[in-house]
Structure 1
Amino acid sequence: MDKKEIFDKVSSIVADHFDIDRAKITEDLNLKTDLDADSIDFVEFVLEVEDTFGAEIEDSEAEKLSTIGEVVDYIAAHQQDKK
C-alpha cells in the first residue's frame, strides 16, 4: 500500500472520528491542536488506525505522532518492515 492509499484511509478515519470535512485534512493537520483531541480521542483514533491497518502502535510511539503525515509515515514504514 502506498502513502497516498494510507493517507486516504487515515483521512477517512479522521473525518469520521472527529467529524471534520475530509477536504480540510492535510498531512500537516495536527491531531492534538488542530482537532482539539483530548487523550481519549487520541487513543480511540490510534486504536482505529491499528484495526484498519492490522498494525500495532506502541504507546511510546503513538505519543510521538502528532500530524496526519507522521501517522502515514509511521504506517508506511512499519508495513515495509513486514515485507
Structure 2
Amino acid sequence: PAVQTAFRAPFVQSRISTPATSISAIRSYASSSGLSQDEVTGRILDLLKNFDKVSDASKLAPTAHFTNDLGLDSLDTVEVVMAIEEEFSIEIPDKEADAIHSVNQAVDYIMAQPDAH
C-alpha cells in the first residue's frame, strides 16, 4: 500500500495542474465586436455618401431603406453589402445579405459580428 501511494501522488498532482494551463488559452467571443453603434452607423452612412448610385443623398439617415429611400436597385444593394463586407473586414453569407435592405439592418448585422472591425 505504501508503494502504491507514492506512485499515485505525482500522477494526481500533474492531472490537477493540467486544466489550469489549458483554460488560459481559451478565447472568449461572448461580447460584440467592440465597435459602438454610432461608429458603425457613421461608417455605413459615409460609405453610402460615396456611393455614386444613391439618388438622393439628403435622405441618408440611420432609418434609410436602400431601395425606397435611396433609389438603389437589387444589384446596387448587393454592391453596398459587398462594400460593407470590405469596410468591416467580414464575410456576409448570401442568405443573410439578402435580408439587409436598410442602414439599420446593416448596423444590426455588423453589431452582432464579433470579428467585425
TM normalised by structure 1 equals: 0.84
Whole-angstrom distance in 2 between the partners of 1:6 and 1:77: 11
| Shift in alpha-carbon separation, 1:62–1:77, aligned structure 2, 3 A | same
Whole-angstrom distance in 2 between the partners of 1:7 and 1:13: 10
> What SS does structure 2 have at the residue aligned with 1:35?
coil
Q: Deviations over 1:49-74 (max 9, x none)?
A: 10110011111111111110110010
Aligned residues: 80
User: What residue number does 1:16 align with?
Assistant: 50
Range moving further from structure 2, 67-76 or 10-19: 10-19
User: What residue number does 1:54 align with?
Assistant: 89
In the TM superposition, structure 1's runs of 4+ consecutive aligned residues that sit over 6 Å from their partners are none
Higher relative contact order (CA 8 A, sep 6+): 1
Which segments of 5 or more consecutive residues in structure 2 lack a partner in the other structure? 1-34
Structure with a larger share of its residues in helix: 1
What percentage of residue pairs aligned between the two structures are identical? 28
Measured after TM superposition, the shift of residue 24 of structure 1 is: 3.5
Whole-angstrom distance in 2 between the partners of 1:35 and 1:19: 6
Whole-angstrom distance in 1 between the partners of 2:48 and 2:56: 7
Measured after TM superposition, the shift of residue 43 of structure 1 is: 1.1
User: What residue number does 1:63 align with?
Assistant: 98
Q: Is the 8 A contact 2:56 2:71 kept in 1?
A: no
Measured after TM superposition, the shift of residue 20 of structure 1 is: 4.4
Task: Look up the equivalent residue of 1:58 and give its one-letter code.
Answer: P
Task: Look up the equivalent residue of 1:67 and give its one-letter code.
Answer: S
Q: Deviations over 1:27-59 (max 9, x none)?
A: 211002111211221111111110110011111
> What SS does structure 2 have at the residue aligned with 1:13?
helix
Q: Tell me, yes or no, if structure 1 residue 26 matches structure 2 residue 61.
A: yes
Task: Look up the equivalent residue of 1:2 and give its one-letter code.
Answer: S
